[in-house]
Amino acid sequence: MLGIITPSISNDQKAENVWRLRAEKLLFSYRYFILFVVLPIAVLATYYYVIASDQYETSADFVVRKADVSGAQTGGGQILGFNLGGSIVSSEAYMVNDYLLSIDAAERLSRQNGLIERFTRPSIDVFSRLWGDKPSPERLLKYYRKHVSFHVDSETGITQMNVHAFTPGDAYEIGNALLRMGEEQINQLNIRTYRDQVAHARSEAELAEAALKSAERALTDYRRSNNDIDPAGSARAQVSLVSNLTAGLTTARARLRAMEGLISPSSPQYRAMVSQMRALEAQVASQSGRIAGNDRSIASSLGGYENLQVQQEAAVRRYAAAAAAYETARSEAVRKKTYLIRIVDANRAVKPLYPERAKIVGTALLTLVFAYAIGWLLVQGVREHEI
């Protein structure tokens, strides 16, 4: 009998064909699941487990506080010198954090610590490295903030710093550099605060001191010009002299009146008494003229001297008040001085903690599975309504 001759198929070949058909049918049935779930997870896992570079973390804890921190301090707060029971965080802590996350800090790290070179190493995968040897400030800041973070605990006031880099040494060096920059920023803040608070008081003290020196100089010049170191003492001595002379004149006049009628005016004794009285009158007139006779009198000299003394005393009081205000301002500025205290210093990482491969891939898998399940339920619901 003529016809087409077909090759015989063995049982193994039949089984292989059956498995191939089943596999093709299975793949066709789950083609959307494979496309939307399996393939993305495979690509993601390949990147994170094969391509992605390891990242090391350096962390440090510090607190920013003022010298006059008060309130209940218990436990570790007493040891460290800050209040662990309060809920108010120093504004200077946020200022330091903002500065360390600014473009100024990133550029300073680039100049002094080679930040760009550390993030552009050839060993870093292309998706994680910083592209370009001279990135724009905006791109550098965006990349920098992905690898440096600060978290402030509102209850304790402790700031936790985390730095991610691609070698343990890079993370450690960047973390230490950031701590030093934070301390320098606090020191500059203290200098500016001290200068602003003390400058006015110091200026007033200097003006008061200059006024006091001027008053003392004027008083000294006045003494020199009048050849009298103590015009007030000289005036008291002159008044005492005039008083004594006046008393003597009074006595002489009394004795002369007593002699009248008893002794002849032409007698030598009477004439001597008259001469003595006239001499005393002349001395009293002369010495009284020195006290208040003309512009060169003691009264005129004493008036100018007392005026200068009043000016000197006013200058002394002004200087004393200005000096006290200056010392108070200095004490207040010192009391409000801010410190950055390292609680936990920067550590050198031993093993990489990032990227968290299992966590990322697992989260992505669960998300895609749930999304696929929801989409499948929606599609099935639409098909049932069409039927």
Sequence-ordered list of residues with C-beta below 8 angstroms from that of 204, at least 6 positions apart, any chain: 322, 325, 326
The token pair that represents 184 in the structure block: 């320098």
Whole-number pLDDT of residue 184: 92
Taking only the tens place, the pLDDT of each residue in 356-365 is 889 999 999 9
Lowest mean pLDDT among 180-189, 283-292, 293-302: 293-302
Q: Mean per-residue pLDDT for 77-87?
A: 44
Whole-number pLDDT of residue 175: 94
Lowest mean pLDDT among 105-109, 225-229, 280-284: 225-229
Taking only the tens place, the pLDDT of each residue in 103-117 is 999 999 999 999 999
Highest mean pLDDT among 180-184, 306-310, 324-328: 180-184
Separation of CA 178 from chain center: 16
pLDDT category of residue 23 using cuts at 50, 70 and 90? low
Highest mean pLDDT among 188-192, 255-259, 265-269: 188-192
Question: Whole-angstrom Cα distance, residue 151 to residue 154?
Answer: 9
Which has more pLDDT, 285 or 75? 285
Whole-number pLDDT of residue 149: 94
Whole-number pLDDT of residue 251: 76
Q: Tell the residue number behind the tokens 């350096």, with chain if given.
A: 58
Nearest to 110 by CA among 177, 187, 57: 177
pLDDT category of residue 7 using cuts at 50, 70 and 90? low
Mean pLDDT of the chain: 78
Whole-number pLDDT of residue 213: 86
Amino acid at 91: S
Backbone phi, then psi, for 150, in 5-degree steps? -135, 135
Whole-number pLDDT of residue 169: 92
Highest mean pLDDT among 75-79, 132-136, 168-172, 309-313: 168-172
In percent, how much of the chain has pLDDT > 70? 68
Whole-number pLDDT of residue 311: 80
Residue 261 has pLDDT above 80, yes or no: no
Nearest to 364 by CA among 34, 42, 27, 146: 42
The token pair that represents 362 in the structure block: 């697992």
Separation of CA 76 from chain center: 25
Residue 94 has pLDDT above 60, yes or no: yes
Whole-number pLDDT of residue 72: 40
Three-state secondary structure along the chain? CCCCCCCCCCHHHHHHHHHHHHHHHHHHHCHHHHHHHHHHHHHHHHHHHHHCCCEEEEEEEEEEEECCCCCCCCCHHHHHCCCCCCCCCCHHHHHHHHHHCCHHHHHHHHHHHCHHHHHCCCCCCCCCCCCCCCCCHHHHHHHHHHHEEEEECCCCCEEEEEEEECCHHHHHHHHHHHHHHHHHHHHHHHHHHHHHHHHHHHHHHHHHHHHHHHHHHHHHHHHHHHCCCCHHHHHHHHHHHHHHHHHHHHHHHHHHHHHECCECCCCHHHHHHHHHHHHHHHHHHHHHHHHHCCCCCHHHHHHHHHHHHHHHHHHHHHHHHHHHHHHHHHHHHHHCCEEEEEEECCCCCCCCCECCHHHHHHHHHHHHHHHHHHHHHHHHHHHHHHC
Question: Whole-angstrom Cα distance, residue 50 to residue 167?
Answer: 18
Which has more pLDDT, 133 or 107? 107
Residue 225 has pLDDT above 60, yes or no: yes
Which has more pLDDT, 66 or 165? 165
Q: Mean per-residue pLDDT for 16-38?
A: 74
Residue 77 has pLDDT above 90, yes or no: no
Sheet holding 56-66, edge to edge: 148-152, 158-165, 56-66, 338-344
Which has more pLDDT, 175 or 209? 175
Decide: 238 and 290 in contact? Cβ < 8 Å: yes
pTM > 0.85: no
Q: Which residues of 145-180 are buried (b: 16+ CB within 10 A; e: fewer)?
A: eebbebebeeebbbbebebbbbbbebbbbbbbbbbe
Whole-number pLDDT of residue 9: 53
Q: Mean per-residue pLDDT for 175-196?
A: 89
Lowest mean pLDDT among 25-39, 54-68, 118-132, 284-298: 284-298
pLDDT category of residue 74 using cuts at 50, 70 and 90? very low
Decide: 163 and 171 in contact? Cβ < 8 Å: yes
Whole-number pLDDT of residue 104: 93
Q: Mean per-residue pLDDT for 218-235?
A: 65
Question: Whole-angstrom Cα distance, residue 387 to residue 32?
Answer: 22
